[in-house]
């Protein structure tokens, strides 16, 4: 097989997401591509991975069952802090086409203290610029970037950082033009709960890099229409979507998946539940979340109704996964700001479209207010203090909390408070 992918990051997410997908592509098509993993920080897991010939077992687990797969798509690991020349040598291989990364949400950043002569530079985009400049100097074509960091417009932000380093290091207009014309920076949206190494379980598998995840996976890629002709994800039954509008899929995830969590959590905590799975097993809580999602959130979204319902079905299936213990208290962190982003847009859009109140979401709003009257909250102290003592009408009228005056919701919310 040919080395076609450079991957920044050896953690559980990429090994249980991109590498798992590429393994399936290799098994089902003639793609024949290998991945070279770059350890983006000084300390990592590449030594352990290399000791296993870069092979490991990945297990998908959920209400669908349990499925183990041996992953051997990674050919080798490169550690820039130990072998910087070996890292730069990746630029010399014309077969490399794709660059995948997951360097955490803080990984795509710019640091003006980075220098091109550093071995290596500190930040991920700076290391990448070092690699790109070597490739440019050799007269080779650029890459297609598929960043998996969980930030909005991750591809655009990565490109912006690279261009900033080009300016900082005076790498010239020809290099910047090559970055713009010969490289494709895709915005992406990734979605899969990766549960990593099962520390407290006896799986019977002797593998220090053993990895676990749920079955569900989604990779939405914006702006590269020819991807499937190069990596035939579409021939393998994988949930990879190419689109010219990523935002509608991000909105779908925020409103349905995250919105379901946030409209459920205060009510569930007030009712004595501890985990999302417990709520899915309770008839009353399950009914509440279904009404929120299917009756009041989905009608406010613009994707095809069947597609939205299928996504929602998967969300509820994921919430019921017996292998994932998702504590409501952890989701409850900063619930006011989460409600503003995740649930409030569904409320206002529902009213706009149907000229009536979304009663279940307003009930959720009331439970949010009730929740902040307790000592269970974990939020900014000023927000907590205000919410605990203010009236419903004063809370809804507070534009600092909601970016608008929500007094018009007072009657609809007030009737459910403390009920």
Please identify which residue in the block is written with the tokens 């598929």. Answer: 146
What is the total residue count of the chain? 419
Residue 35 · residue 17 · CB < 8 Å = no
Domains of the chain (ranges, CATH numbers) = 2-243 (3.40.50.720), 247-414 (1.10.1040.10)
Counting as low any pLDDT under 50, the low residues of the chain are: none
Of 362, 369, 358, nearest to 394 by C-alpha is 369
Please identify which residue in the block is written with the tokens 């439970």. Answer: 367
Question: Rounded to two decimals, what is the model's pTM?
Answer: 0.91
Tokens of 76: 């080798």
* pLDDT tens-place string over residues 63-108: 999 999 999 999 999 999 999 999 999 999 999 999 999 998 789 9
The backbone torsions φ and ψ at residue 190, rounded to the nearest 5 degrees and listed phi first, read -115, 150
pLDDT of 166: 98
Per DSSP bridges, beta strands 187-191 and 144-147 are unpaired
- Cα separation, 171 vs 108, in Å, equals 20
The backbone torsions φ and ψ at residue 131, rounded to the nearest 5 degrees and listed phi first, read -65, -45
- Cα separation, 362 vs 263, in Å, equals 9
**Helix pair 335-342, 359-371: axis angle to 10 deg:** 170
pLDDT of 141: 97
């Amino acid at each position: 097989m040919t080395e076609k992918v450079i991957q920044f990051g050896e953690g559980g997410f990429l090994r249980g997401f991109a590498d798992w997908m590429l393994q399936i592509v290799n098994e089902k098509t003639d793609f024949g591509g290998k991945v070279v993993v770059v350890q983006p920080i000084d300390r990592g897991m590449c030594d352990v991975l290399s000791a296993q010939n870069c092979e490991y077992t990945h297990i998908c687990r959920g209400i669908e069952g349990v499925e183990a797969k041996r992953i051997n798509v990674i050919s080798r690991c490169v550690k820039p802090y130990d072998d910087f020349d070996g890292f730069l040598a990746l630029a010399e291989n014309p077969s490399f086409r794709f660059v995948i990364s997951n360097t955490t949400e803080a990984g795509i950043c710019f640091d003006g203290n980075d220098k091109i002569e550093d071995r290596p530079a500190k930040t991920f985009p700076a290391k990448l610029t070092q690699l790109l400049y070597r490739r440019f100097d050799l007269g080779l074509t650029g890459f297609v970037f598929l960043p998996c960091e969980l930030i909005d417009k991750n591809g655009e932000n990565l490109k912006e950082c690279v261009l900033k380093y080009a300016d900082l290091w005076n790498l010239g207009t020809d290099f910047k033009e090559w970055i713009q014309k010969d490289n494709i920076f895709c915005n992406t949206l990734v979605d899969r709960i990766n549960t990593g190494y099962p520390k407290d379980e006896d799986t019977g598998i002797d593998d220090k890099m053993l990895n676990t995840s749920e079955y569900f996976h989604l990779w939405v890629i914006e702006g590269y229409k020819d991807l499937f002709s190069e990596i035939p994800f579409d021939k393998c039954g994988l949930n990879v979507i190419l689109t010219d509008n990523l935002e509608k899929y991000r909105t779908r995830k925020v409103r349905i998946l995250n919105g379901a969590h946030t409209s459920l959590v205060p009510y569930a905590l007030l009712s004595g539940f501890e985990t999302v799975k417990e709520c899915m097993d309770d008839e009353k809580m399950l009914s509440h979340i279904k009404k929120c999602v299917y009756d009041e959130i989905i009608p406010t979204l613009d994707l095809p109704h069947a597609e939205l319902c299928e996504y929602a079905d998967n969300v509820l299936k994921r919430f019921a996964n017996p292998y994932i213990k998702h504590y409501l208290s952890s989701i409850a962190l900063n619930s006011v700001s989460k409600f503003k982003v995740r649930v409030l847009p569904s409320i206002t859009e529902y009213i706009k479209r149907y000229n009536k109140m979304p009663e279940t979401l307003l009930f959720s709003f009331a439970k949010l207010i009730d929740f902040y009257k307790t000592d269970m909250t974990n939020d900014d102290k000023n927000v907590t203090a205000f919410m605990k003592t203010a009236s419903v009408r004063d809370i809804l009228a507070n534009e600092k909390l909601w970016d608008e005056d929500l007094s018009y919701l007072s009657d609809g919310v007030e009737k459910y408070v403390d009920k």
